[in-house]
Structure 1
Amino acid sequence: MATVVQPDLRLQLNHTNRPYGGGWWPGGDDVSHQILDLMGRWPADRPSIVSYAFLHDNWDRSEASVPAQYLTRTLILVLSDRSSCRLLMIPHDTDPAAAEELLAEASNPHTTWRRMDFASTFRAAVSQ
């Protein structure tokens, strides 16, 4: 039985920080519906979303080794004040523990993670 995911959006205070300004874990894989949900969740005190685009799936050849079911995407939001926000978009069926880790780092302005650290939702089991 599939787990029902509650959509989660986490942003940094300054959403223009790199590599990401936050993370988005949508509740499903219907992009048009999820973008509308994201727009509804977008904080009212931030510039509104004017348009969006996904970074091309093959923009970084080093990600080619990541199996498709574990690959995250980069959602670029163009905002009404002409700034942009890069969101880490986590696949809706990601394990909740892995999604939590990715969301926490994407919304952490002091993260030491590089872009490749965010590329995959796969996490090896930690031995105790």
Structure 2
Amino acid sequence: MKNPGKPHARLVIEKGRSSGKQFMLCDVESHIGRWDADGGIFPDVDLDTDDPEAKVSRRHARITLTNGQYFVEDLGSTNGTFINRGKRLTPGQRQALCDGDEIIVGKTFLRFHILK
């Protein structure tokens, strides 16, 4: 089991029935996806109950913090990861993140915030 540190960033769901729900990011690597006990998948940002259509993959995306810079990477998801409504991220390619960026995973809209 992870021993989380102090939160350094957060994701906030922007639309839908879970609008306003927050996920605190405490580690240098945080996974976004849907929980699956049988498959041993326990993402840091678990959207299982917030994604009734299952558009978010079990292992959808990863946010990393490297030398003070945040990055997001699609992990080969079925429905893709998008930043600021731009083009779909290529799986495995890291995209730099800035405070206030919008991340779309499947049909879930998340806002990325760096904590001061």
Structure with the greater relative contact order (CA < 8 A, sep ≥ 6): 1 or 2? 1
Q: Who wins on radius of gyration, i.e. which is larger?
A: 1
The structure in which a higher percent of residues are helix is: 1
